[in-house]
Amino acid sequence: MERDRGATAATPGTTHVFKSVCRSCHGGCGALLHVRDGELIKVEGDPASPLNRGRLCPIGTVTRDLVYHPDRLKHPLKRVGPRGSGKWQRITWDEALDTIAGKLLEIREEFGPEAIALGTGTGRHHIRWVSRFGHALGTPNWCEPGFAQCFHPRVNTCLLTFGDFPVGDFTGDVKPQCILYWGHNPLNSGPDGETRFVVRDSLSDNPKVIVVDPRQTELAKRADLWLRVRPGTDDALALAMLHVIIGEGLYDAPFVEKNTYGFDALAAHVKPYTPEWAEPITWVAADQVRAAARMFAQTRPAMMEWGCALEHTPNCIQTVRAVSLLPAITGNVDVPGAWVFGMKGLGRFPSLIENLTPEVHAKRLGADRFKMLCGEGADLPAAHIPTLIQAMREGKPYPVKAFLIFGNNTLTTYANSAQVYDALMKVDFLVNADLFMTPTAELADIVLPAASWPELDQLAGLPTISGNVVLAQQRAVRVGECKSDEEIFVELARRMNLEVGTESVEEVLNQQLAQGAVGLSFREMREKGFVTLPMKYRKYEDSGFRTPTGKIELYSTRLEQMGYAPLPYYEEPPESPLRTPDVAAEFPLVLTTGGRIPFFFNSEHRQLSRLRKAYRHPRAEIHPDTAARHGIAEGDWMWIETRRGRMRQKAKLTTGIDPRVISAEHGWWFPDEPGPEYGVWKANVNLLTDNQPPYDPAMGTYQLRALLCRVSKAEETE
C-alpha cells in the first residue's frame, strides 16, 4: 500500500485509522477505516459525524466484503470475441488508455466531439468528473438517469422558484413539529446527507407525520396521516392541498406578502382544484386531503422531505412546482426546523463547461426541446437519454459512435432495457469502468477496474447542494490495479493532449475548497475528516432570493420566459386508467416502481453474500385480493407485464397497497448466475418501463411509474 501521506511513519503491524465518508450509497455517513499493513481490517461509523453519529447501515457494514470481493475487477480487459461473447484478454493500463485515447481522437476528428457520449450512474464521487471530461473533450453529450428522472428536476425547479435548493433541517437545534414525507422513504435510502439515521432521530421527537405514498412503508405505519395516492397523480394532490391552505386562509400572510411573487395569480389558479375534484383522480378521500393540508399549515415549524417518485412521470416539473409551493406559502422556508438553504461549505465543482461554445451547446442531444435538462434552465446541462439512445441506434439527429460508461449498469438502470441493449450493441466503441463485471460491461470493448470508495480521494458537501457538512473521502488502501474514475479522466486528458482537464485530482479538490466556506486545503481536510458550518437562518432578510424578482416565485417568470407554464397544473400520466382506458382493459393494474431496498443501492451490491442472504429475491407487492383473483400465493413467482415486455418477481402479499396497484422493485440482476447476461432479462423492471414520448416539455422526463400492467402466476419451469 502507498502509505497515508499524513502517516508515513506508521510501524508495521500497527493499525492506522483513516477518517473518511462512506459512499456505498448517497448517504454520506462519516466512517473510520482501520488499516493494518496495507489491508483494510475494519470499517466503523464515525461517532463524531453529525450525519450518522457512529452508525452504519447494512451496506456500510460490509464495506470490507466489497473491497476484497474475489470477483472484483482488478486489471484492464480487452474484448477478444464478438460483443457479448464474454471473451476477454487482460491488458496493461498503458494499452487500455492508449487504445481509448486513440479511438476517441479518431472519432472526434472524423465525426466531431459530439459523436462521443459519456454515461454515469448515481451522483457520488465521480459524477461531476464525467461531465468535466466530456467538456474538456469538447462534447456536450453526457448523461445520467437522474438528471431527468431523479433529483435534478427538483434542483432545477427550486433554483428557478427559490433561487436555491432547500433541504430538511434535521440537525438543527429546533426540531420540526410536522414532517411531510412525499414520495420518499428515507428510512431505506437516506440520500445525500439526509441519512436514514437523522430521519429516525427526528421521529424520536414525536413530530406530526404525514406520508404521501402508494405503499404503506414503515414511515406510513408511523404516520398520523397516510395519503395512499394513486401513482402518478401527486400533482393533483398538491394542487388540492394548495386550494385548501389558500382557500381557508391557512397560509402565512405576512411571509407571503413580503417574500413571494404571484400569490394572487396562484390563488385564482388553484381555486378549481378542490379536494372533491382530486378525490377520483388521486384515490385520496377529500377529507384526508383537507386534514393533511390543515396539519401541515397549522403545525410550526413544518418540514417537507420529498423523493424521486415525483420525477418519474412526464409532468414532473409542474408536479415538483406544485409540491414545493406548500412550504413556500406556509412560511416554512429558511427557518429553524423547516426547509433551509445551506451554507455552501464546498465550492462549485469546476465542470469546465465554459470550454463549450454556444454552437457546441446547441448540438447537445435534446437541447432544441428540453431547456431545463439540456439548456438555460439547467444547473448543469445534460443530454436527453432517449434522444441519445436514438442517435446510437439510428444515427439521428446525428450518429453517436462512442459511449463511455462510468459507475453505471446501464441495462438495469435505463428505461426500456431491450432498446438500450440494441443501442449498446450498435455503438462502434464502448468503454465501461466498474467494480465488477456486469451485463453492461460484458458488451464493452474495453473494461476498466474502478476503485471502491476506500481506495480514492474525494470531497462530499452534504446535504447535496447545501453543503452544510463537508467531508473528506481518502484513499486508505489499493486493490490490484484499480484506479479511481477521477484518475482515469486525468490520465486520458493528458494522453489526448487536451487543453483543459489535465490537473491532478488533488488540484481540482483544492480548487473546489477554495471557492467554498471551509477555508482548508484537501490535505488539511483529510486530517480533520469533516467540517460542520454554523447555520444561519433567514438569509433572505439580508439578500432576498436569487430569482429575477428577488422573491420566491409562485408565478415563475423564468419558466414563462422559456415558454413553459408559470403556474403548476395537473396532467394525467400518458398511460393510465383515465387517459388510456383501452390499454387499461388489457392491462388493468397500475404499476409503481423504484421502492428502495435497505440492503442494496439501485443495482449495486448484489454480489455481497451477507446482503443477498438478507434479501435473496426480488419482491413485488400485491394486495391479497388481487393475488387471489390470479391464483397467486405469498412467495410465488409472478409475471408482471406491460406493453413493452414482461419480467417476474416474487409476490409479497400486503394490505398496505391498493388492490389496483402493483409495486415492483428495480435494479435486479443476478451476479451469481452465468455471464454474460447474469440474469438481466429475468427480474429487471426496466423491461417494463417506457422511454418513448410524450416527455415532460421542459425536462424530457419519461414514464417510469404509473404504467399499466397485468400479472399472472409464473410456474417454476418458466
| Residue of 120, 86, 44 lying closest to 432 (CA atoms) | 120
Provide mean pLDDT across the span 54-82.
Answer: 97
Torsion over CA: 663, 624, 186, 33 (sign): negative
Torsion over CA: 253, 254, 260, 261 (sign): positive
C-alpha distances out from residue 549 to 261, 329, 539, 568, Å: 7, 16, 16, 18
Give residue 10's pLDDT band: very low, low, confident or very high (50, 70, 90).
low
Give the integer Cα–Cα distance in Å for 697 and 167: 26
Give the integer Cα–Cα distance in Å for 452 and 675: 22
Cis peptide before 463 (omega within 30 of 0): yes
Give residue 8's pLDDT band: very low, low, confident or very high (50, 70, 90).
very low
> Does the pLDDT value for residue 594 go beyond 90?
no
> Does the pLDDT value for residue 52 go beyond 50?
yes
Percent of the chain with pLDDT over 70: 99
What is the β-pairing status of strands 260-261 and 552-553? parallel
pLDDT at 2: 38
pLDDT at 78: 98
What's the chain's average pLDDT?
95
Instruction: Give per-residue pLDDT as tens, 304-330.
Output: 999 999 999 999 999 999 999 999 999
pLDDT at 318: 98
Instruction: Give per-residue pLDDT as tens, 184-224.
Output: 998 888 888 888 898 899 999 999 999 999 999 999 999 99
> Does the pLDDT value for residue 51 go beyond 50?
yes
Q: Which helix (H) or strand (E) holds 664?
A: strand 661-664
Helix, strand and coil percent figures for the chain, each rounded to 5? 35, 20, 50
Cell of 576: 393510465
Give residue 124's pLDDT band: very low, low, confident or very high (50, 70, 90).
confident
Percent of the chain with pLDDT over 90: 93
pLDDT at 6: 38
Question: Could you tell me how far CA 415 lies from the centroid of its own chain?
Answer: 14
Give the integer Cα–Cα distance in Å for 640 and 663: 10
Q: What is the Cα Rg of the chain in Å? A: 25
Q: Which residues contact residue 410 at a Cβ distance below 8 angstroms, ignoring those fewer than 6 apart?
A: 119, 420, 424, 440
Strand order in the sheet with 30-36: 15-21, 30-36, 39-45
Provide mean pLDDT across the span 5-12.
Answer: 56
> Does the pLDDT value for residue 1 go beyond 60?
no
Least confident range from 8-17, 228-237, 456-465, 537-546: namely 8-17
Q: Which helix (H) or strand (E) holds 526?
A: helix 522-528
> Does the pLDDT value for residue 467 go beyond 50?
yes
Instruction: Give per-residue pLDDT as tens, 139-162.
Output: 999 999 888 999 999 999 999 999
Provide mean pLDDT across the span 86-105.
Answer: 98
pLDDT at 123: 72
Question: Could you tell me how far CA 656 lies from the centroid of its own chain?
Answer: 25
pLDDT at 461: 94
Give residue 3's pLDDT band: very low, low, confident or very high (50, 70, 90).
very low
Cell of 507: 488540484
Q: Count how many residues are written for the chain.
A: 718
Give residue 5's pLDDT band: very low, low, confident or very high (50, 70, 90).
very low
Q: Which helix (H) or strand (E) holds 625?
A: helix 624-629
Provide mean pLDDT across the span 656-671.
Answer: 97
> Does the pLDDT value for residue 9 go beyond 60?
no
Cβ atoms < 10 Å from Cβ of 22: 29
Give residue 278's pLDDT band: very low, low, confident or very high (50, 70, 90).
very high
Q: Which domains does the chain possess?
A: 97-151+345-532 (3.40.50.740), 166-340 (3.40.228.10), 581-713 (2.40.40.20)
pLDDT at 537: 98
Give residue 27's pLDDT band: very low, low, confident or very high (50, 70, 90).
confident
User: Residue 143 gets which letter from DSSP?
Assistant: E
